[in-house]
């Protein structure tokens, strides 16, 4: 219930309130009565509206408005206060990413419903008053019988169960034989049981658990858990979670990269702990969001799993953070506040002074460098669980491969598919391209159909009968005439997407049951779970999909993995192309033969001599990673040097260019700092806006953010121009 402070007219004072939008500073208000502590949610007037914010510290440098000019806060909300830790985290992230604290706070207030007064109802249970036998009628005895289990019920439900009128129940409430409490309508979460026995671990897993547990007392302690695919990393960190949950106050946060695909993980968690964790993702309905947010803030939610945004939930007492598949680039948030959830998770754990586990079969270079620097400890699992062997890898050199005209599957992969199906096993074909074909062109005039808003081709999606831009979402019905020369039936598609691959597979194996898995077909976590369950139940013979299928799955009958075009990821040629391609291919290969059946992987490539392919095929990944990281070191690139990308965009090209050049002129040249650009971005136009890029590089000793802040001081973009600053960029498009 809200407490209206204007009832107490005694003391007056000043507080600062941070509001959840880009204001750049806190606002001061007056209060009367008791001073609300930092972290308290309050409603305040602002420009004729009422907004919700949080009581915050006032930065020292800010000027004070005289007290008499300030407005009073309206009310203090009955919501758990944000902890000091959480507020420091918000300030820290804002400072690091060069965004406003208000915009970061907004991510922590991501459930508007949770901040409203919740609907409540009265619940009744057996009271403590002594029973006077003289006053007990048979009807009353029936009621006492019902409530004897101590459970909470409404009056209506007690009267129904006891078969008596509600008046009888009310009579007992008067006597104190039944007591009532006001409860919010949210159902409580079933807590996980840390005492449940987990599976028997093998020796390697036991060692890993022992090492991890030994570190738990130290407070903040980041550990990289590096285990080959199928080594049972999940069971290892489950053991650590069990340990942490034994302290009834502790909460655990697990970040997973692809929340739509966590069905298998949830099942395993329930088997291990007897209850499901609290989920946090964009697909939650309003009521579920409110329930989860409240439960995190009150400490009731013991374990939360979610994608990157779960990191900003208002934890009461965080006891452990796990980042699973820590190498995954989907942890990088690219819009709004631009941050990397893995890196910020480490900061969050440090503020909570709790351990953090970063788990992967293919650790990111950032994490490897932190191991080198002895900032992270390192635990490894080198063998697959249960004696499963690693799959055989075969490269198919597509320059020489037999490849029947018009087919995307080489003869060798085709044969392997046939044999796999004959043995009654499953196969997975990986092609990281959504839709039917990436390019449509006119055979008459040579026009390539491009997005009117972006420097990008329109991708045909045959199932939806349209062409679509993957950058802005613009779509048009698949045209019959060339939009340029008007000739009918002259349009031809180039290159394969997963839909086109599926068409070929259908032609070659008409009796095989196929399933296409991409972000277009997995429209909700529920849908994803359903697909995964069908595969696990053996209802599918061939899975065809984009990178969504490479992550974390365990399908015992899956023995063949075919990579249709291993070179796609290398083509952009950005800083991380090699690292990313290696991780992706290693992960997808890791889906094959995870139990008794032997796995086989076929990699179709036009560049079998590329160091990435050579490393995968020879099994000598360490050599590749070492030399790739040595290159980064040589050029002072991340994880050794630091980068920030500055993206200037706007509706008017000359103005974008002019501002970009002005930025370059103003750049404070200094030792240890270099600037590249400005240059037109590879994606030169996006959603109708022209784009220019500058790239800033510093050594690790330079305070990158301070350089940018002093550089940007006094820069006032006009005419719809925006400057987007991306610290530790992953996208260079
Ligand atoms: P990773 O995440 O390292 O690729 P998983 O944790 O998915 O590996 O484990 C691979 C498979 O082995 C899963 O089916 C898992 O249930 C099983 N497994 C792992 N460790 C054990 C264990 N100690 N006892 C029984 N099954 C295990
Ligand atoms: Zn577009």
- The CATH number given to whatever domain includes residue 667 is 3.30.70.600
Residue 10 has pLDDT above 50, yes or no: no
Residue 605 lies in a domain: yes
Q: Which ligand is nearest to the CA of 469?
A: 2
Structural domain span for residue 667: 641-727
pLDDT at 12: 67
| Residue 113 backbone phi and psi in degrees, to 5 | -60, -35
Residue scoring higher pLDDT (427 or 524): 427
Same-domain status, 268 and 302: yes
Q: Where residue 51 sits, what CATH number does that domain have?
A: 3.40.1440
Residue 704 lies in a domain: yes
For ligand 1, atom 5: residue with the closest CA: 232
For ligand 1, atom 25: residue with the closest CA: 199
Q: Which ligand is nearest to the CA of 586?
A: 1
Any atom of ligand 1 within 6 Å of the Cβ of 233: yes
CA 606 / ligand 2 centre spacing (Å): 29
For ligand 1, atom 4: residue with the closest CA: 230
Last residue of a domain, one of 629, 655, 686: 629
For ligand 1, atom 14: residue with the closest CA: 554
Same-domain status, 418 and 305: no
Residue 458 lies in a domain: no
Residue 686 lies in a domain: yes
User: What whole-number distance in Å separates Cα of residue 500 and Cα of residue 86?
Assistant: 48
Name the pLDDT band for 5 (thresholds 50, 70, 90). very low
Same-domain status, 382 and 393: no
Same-domain status, 30 and 166: no
> What number is the average pLDDT over the span 651-661?
96
Both tokens of 19, joined, read: 């509001």
CA 251 / ligand 2 centre spacing (Å): 42
Same-domain status, 544 and 597: yes
Residue 679 has pLDDT above 80, yes or no: yes
User: Within 358-439, where are the H helices?
Assistant: 365-372, 411-422
| Cβ-proximal residues to 433 (8 Å cutoff; 6+ apart), any chain | 495, 496, 497, 498, 546, 565, 568
Same-domain status, 521 and 570: yes
Q: Where residue 364 sits, what CATH number does that domain have?
A: 3.40.50.300
CA 588 / ligand 1 centre spacing (Å): 17
Same-domain status, 352 and 219: yes
User: What whole-number distance in Å separates Cα of residue 53 and Cα of residue 68?
Assistant: 21
CA 655 / ligand 2 centre spacing (Å): 21
Residue 52 lies in a domain: yes
Q: pLDDT tens for residues 175-189?
A: 888 998 877 767 789
pLDDT at 481: 94
Name the pLDDT band for 65 (thresholds 50, 70, 90). confident
Which of 232, 254, 270, 272 to mutate to test ligand 1, by most ligand atoms within 8 A of the CB atom? 232
Name the pLDDT band for 132 (thresholds 50, 70, 90). confident
> What number is the average pLDDT over the span 632-660?
96
| Cβ-proximal residues to 345 (8 Å cutoff; 6+ apart), any chain | 253, 255, 311, 321, 323, 356
Residue 453 lies in a domain: no
Average pLDDT of the chain, as a whole number? 91
Q: pLDDT tens for residues 305-361?
A: 998 999 999 999 999 999 999 999 999 999 999 999 999 999 999 999 999 999 999
Residue 428, strand partner residues: 543, 561
CA 336 / ligand 2 centre spacing (Å): 19
User: What whole-number distance in Å separates Cα of residue 309 and Cα of residue 13?
Assistant: 35
Residue 108 lies in a domain: no
Same-domain status, 376 and 350: yes
pLDDT at 8: 39
CA 125 / ligand 1 centre spacing (Å): 44
Q: pLDDT tens for residues 191-231?
A: 999 999 999 999 999 999 999 999 888 899 999 999 998 89
Q: Which ligand is nearest to the CA of 380?
A: 1
User: Within 35-154, where are the H helices?
Assistant: 84-97, 101-108, 138-147
Residue 408 lies in a domain: yes
* Whether pTM exceeds 0.95: no
Residue 398 has pLDDT above 50, yes or no: yes
Same-domain status, 618 and 710: no
For ligand 1, atom 20: residue with the closest CA: 232
Residue 4 has pLDDT above 80, yes or no: no
User: Within 494-542, where are the H helices?
Assistant: 498-508, 525-536
CA 204 / ligand 1 centre spacing (Å): 12
Same-domain status, 28 and 167: no
For ligand 1, atom 16: residue with the closest CA: 232
Q: State how many domains the chain has.
A: 5
Any atom of ligand 1 within 6 Å of the Cβ of 593: no
User: What whole-number distance in Å separates Cα of residue 27 and Cα of residue 69?
Assistant: 12
Name the pLDDT band for 118 (thresholds 50, 70, 90). low
Residue 404 has pLDDT above 80, yes or no: no
pLDDT at 58: 86
Q: Which ligand is nearest to the CA of 459?
A: 2
Which of 201, 209, 231, 235 to mutate to test ligand 1, by most ligand atoms within 8 A of the CB atom? 235
For ligand 1, atom 23: residue with the closest CA: 201
Strands (E), 93-199: 120-126, 178-184
Last residue of a domain, one of 365, 386, 407: 386
CA 235 / ligand 1 centre spacing (Å): 6
Last residue of a domain, one of 42, 65, 85: 85
Same-domain status, 307 and 267: yes
Same-domain status, 647 and 719: yes
541 neighbors 559 (Cβ within 8 angstroms): no
């Amino acid at each position: 219930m809200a407490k209206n402070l204007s009832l107490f007219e005694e003391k007056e004072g000043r507080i600062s309130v941070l509001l959840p939008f880009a204001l750049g500073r806190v606002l001061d208000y007056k209060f009367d009565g008791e001073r609300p502590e930092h972290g308290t949610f309050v409603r305040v007037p602002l420009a004729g509206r009422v907004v919700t914010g949080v009581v915050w510290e006032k930065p020292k440098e800010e000027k004070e408005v005289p007290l008499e000019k300030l407005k009073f806060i309206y009310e203090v909300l009955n919501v758990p206060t944000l902890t000091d830790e959480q507020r420091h985290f918000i300030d820290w992230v804002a400072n690091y990413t060069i965004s406003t604290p208000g915009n970061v706070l907004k991510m922590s207030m991501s459930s508007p419903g949770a901040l409203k007064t919740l609907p409540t109802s009265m619940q009744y249970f057996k009271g403590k008053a002594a029973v006077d036998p003289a006053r007990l009628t048979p009807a009353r005895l029936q009621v006492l019988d019902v409530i004897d289990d101590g459970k909470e019920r409404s009056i209506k439900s007690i009267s129904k169960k006891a078969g008596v009128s509600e008046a009888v129940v009310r009579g007992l409430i008067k006597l104190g034989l039944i007591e009532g409490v006001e409860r919010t309508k949210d159902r409580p979460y079933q807590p996980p049981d840390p005492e449940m026995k987990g599976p028997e671990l093998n020796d390697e897993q036991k060692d890993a658990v022992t090492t991890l547990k030994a570190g738990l007392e130290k407070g903040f302690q980041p550990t990289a858990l590096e285990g080959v695919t199928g080594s049972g990393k999940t069971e290892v960190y489950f053991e650590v979670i069990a340990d942490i949950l034994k302290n009834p106050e502790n909460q655990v946060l697990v970040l997973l990269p692809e929340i739509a695909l966590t069905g298998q993980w949830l099942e395993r968690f329930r088997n291990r702990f007897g209850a499901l964790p609290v989920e946090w993702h964009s697909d939650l309905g309003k009521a579920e969001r409110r329930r989860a947010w409240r439960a995190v803030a009150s400490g009731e939610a013991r374990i939360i799993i979610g994608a990157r945004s779960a990191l900003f939930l208002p934890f009461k007492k965080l006891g452990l953070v796990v980042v699973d598949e820590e190498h995954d680039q989907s942890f990088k948030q690219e819009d709004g506040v631009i941050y990397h959830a893995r890196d910020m998770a480490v900061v969050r754990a440090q503020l909570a002074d709790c351990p953090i586990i970063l788990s992967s079969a293919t650790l990111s270079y950032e994490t490897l460098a932190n191991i080198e620097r002895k900032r992270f400890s390192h635990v490894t699992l080198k063998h697959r669980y249960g004696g499963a062997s690693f799959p055989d890898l075969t490269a198919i050199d597509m320059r020489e491969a037999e490849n029947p005209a018009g087919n995307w599957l080489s003869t060798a992969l085709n044969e392997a598919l046939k044999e796999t199906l004959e043995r009654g096993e499953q196969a997975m074909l990986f092609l990281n391209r959504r839709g039917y074909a990436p390019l449509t062109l006119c055979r008459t005039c040579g026009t390539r159909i491009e997005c009117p808003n972006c420097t990008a081709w329109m991708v045909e999606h045959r199932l939806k009968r349209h062409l679509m831009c993957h950058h802005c979402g613009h779509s048009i019905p698949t045209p019959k005439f060339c939009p340029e020369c008007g000739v009918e039936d002259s349009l031809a598609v180039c290159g394969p997407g997963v839909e086109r691959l599926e068409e070929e597979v259908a032609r070659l194996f008409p009796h095989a049951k196929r399933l296409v898995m991409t972000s277009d077909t997995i429209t909700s976590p529920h849908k994803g779970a359903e697909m995964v369950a069908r595969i696990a139940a053996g209802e599918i013979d061939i899975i065809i999909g984009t990178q969504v299928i490479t992550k974390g799955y365990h399908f015992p009958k899956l023995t063949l993995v075919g990579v249709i075009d291993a070179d796609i990821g290398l083509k952009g040629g950005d800083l991380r192309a090699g690292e990313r391609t290696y991780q992706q291919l290693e992960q997808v290969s890791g889906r094959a033969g995870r139990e008794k059946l032997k796995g086989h992987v076929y990699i179709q490539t036009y560049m079998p001599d590329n160091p990435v392919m050579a490393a995968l095929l020879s099994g000598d990944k360490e050599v590749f990673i070492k030399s790739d990281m040595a290159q980064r070191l040589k050029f002072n690139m991340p994880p050794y040097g630091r980068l920030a990308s500055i993206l200037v965009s706007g509706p008017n090209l000359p103005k974008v260019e002019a501002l970009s050049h002005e930025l370059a002129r103003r750049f404070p040249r200094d030792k240890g700092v270099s600037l590249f650009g400005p240059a037109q971005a590879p994606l030169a136009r996006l959603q109708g806006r022209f784009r220019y890029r500058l790239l800033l590089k510093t050594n690790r000793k330079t305070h990158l953010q301070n350089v940018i802040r002093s550089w940007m001081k006094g820069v006032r973009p006009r005419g719809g121009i925006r400057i987007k600053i991306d610290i530790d960029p992953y996208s260079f498009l």
